[in-house]
Amino acid sequence: MNRYKINEVFQSIQGEGALTGVPSIFVRIQGCPVGCPWCDTKHTWDINPDDERSADDVMAEQGESSHWFQSSFDELMALFAREGYTAKNVILTGGEPCMFDLTELSSQLIARGYGVSIETSGTFEVLTHPDTWVTVSPKVNMKGGYDILDSALARANEIKHPVAMERHVDELKALLTRLPEGAAPLIYLQPISQQARATELAIKHCIENNWRLSLQTHKFIGIE
């Protein structure tokens, strides 16, 4: 039985990408070595044994914390029930969830009638059920030194690229040349940190390239 290191579980509305507006249960998995400087979940990077807590303790915390708990699938389902979650889509996020083999977890969720999506940097192989919706948000030349994998790009249902300057758009165009023949993921540009200049840049290139704009709408409306 697999056990998963989980930083946070909550129910909300997806605010980004193709599933914007979809009620979802977010399962935030602990651990990420990629090192994005603008990351808004840096508290999930390290898996420190001293930070392990019970699920009840972690769920009772308010605000960001590096604490995490271990959970089996059955324990996770019991947590969903206790919390009264009604959403039928589960988003596996992080951290970097694809550090781990998510085939069993995603398959069990799908067997229970949930839709499943994964948000990944594209720096680890995506091991998941075939029906999982995979969002690759490529993190190029980050501090951790990880390359974007061709296998992750090929598995993407959508590529949601963070941008703040022209070189980020150039990086995306270079990545798209590596897609296998016939691959047609949805392409989104997402302004980093909602900066005005980044938003203007994203709009310009979405129009020029017939891509889509992803805004972090949850931040605009003040939800998690």
Strand stretches in 14-136, DSSP E: 23-29, 69-71, 89-93, 115-120, 133-136
Return the H-helix or E-strand segment holding 213.
Answer: strand 212-213
User: Is 28 annotated to bind ligand?
Assistant: yes
Kindly list the strands in the beta sheet with 89-93, ordered across the sheet, starting from the edge strand earlier in the chain: 69-71, 4-13, 23-29, 89-93, 115-120, 133-136, 158-163, 186-191, 212-213
Residue 26 in contact with residue 8, Cβ under 8 Å?
yes
Task: Indicate whether 208 belongs to any domain.
Answer: no
37 DSSP assignment: T
Is 41 annotated as belonging to a binding site? Answer: yes
Asked if residue 40 belongs to a known ligand binding site, the reply is yes
Whether residue 1 has pLDDT greater than 90 = no
Question: Rounded to 5 degrees, what angle do the CA atoms 18, 216, 35 make?
Answer: 100
Q: For residue 137, is it within any domain?
A: yes
- Strand ranges in 30-185 using DSSP code E only, listed in sequence order: 69-71, 89-93, 115-120, 133-136, 158-163
Q: Is residue 94 part of a domain?
A: yes
Q: Reply yes or no on whether the pLDDT at 193 is more than 80.
A: no
| 66 belongs to an annotated ligand binding site | no
* Mean pLDDT of the 26-51 span: 95
The mean pLDDT value for 207-223 works out to 80
User: Per residue in 119-156, pLDDT tens?
Assistant: 999 999 999 999 999 999 999 988 999 999 999 999 99
Residue 204 belongs to some domain of the structure: no
Q: Is 56 annotated as a binding residue?
A: no
Q: Is 63 exposed, middle or buried (0-12, 13-18, 19+ CB in 10 A)?
A: exposed
Task: Give the residue numbers spanning the domain of 14.
Answer: 4-162
Pairing of strands 186-191, 158-163: parallel
Residue 223 has pLDDT above 70, yes or no: no
Residue 15 labelled as part of a binding site: yes
Return the pLDDT at 192.
85
DSSP helix/strand/coil, 9:
strand
Does the pLDDT of residue 55 top 80, yes or no?
yes
Give the pLDDT of residue 220: 59
Number of domains in the chain: 1
Question: Is residue 151 one of the residues assigned to a domain?
Answer: yes
**Is the confidence at residue 40, as pLDDT, over 90?**
no
Report residue 202 CA to chain centroid gap: 20
Positions of E strands within 65-208: 69-71, 89-93, 115-120, 133-136, 158-163, 186-191
Is there a domain that residue 74 lies in?
yes
- What is the chain's mean pLDDT, rounded? 94
Amino acid found at 109 = L
137 annotated binding-site participant: yes
Q: Is 39 flagged in the annotation as binding?
A: yes
| 139 carries a ligand binding annotation | yes
Cα pseudo-dihedral 124, 119, 224, 4, rounded to 10: -60
| Backbone torsions φ then ψ of 191, nearest 5 degrees | -60, 130
- Say whether pLDDT at 29 is over 90: yes
Write the CATH number for 14: 3.20.20.70
174 in a structural domain: no
Q: Would 200 be classed as within a structural domain? A: no
Tell me what pLDDT residue 222 has: 63
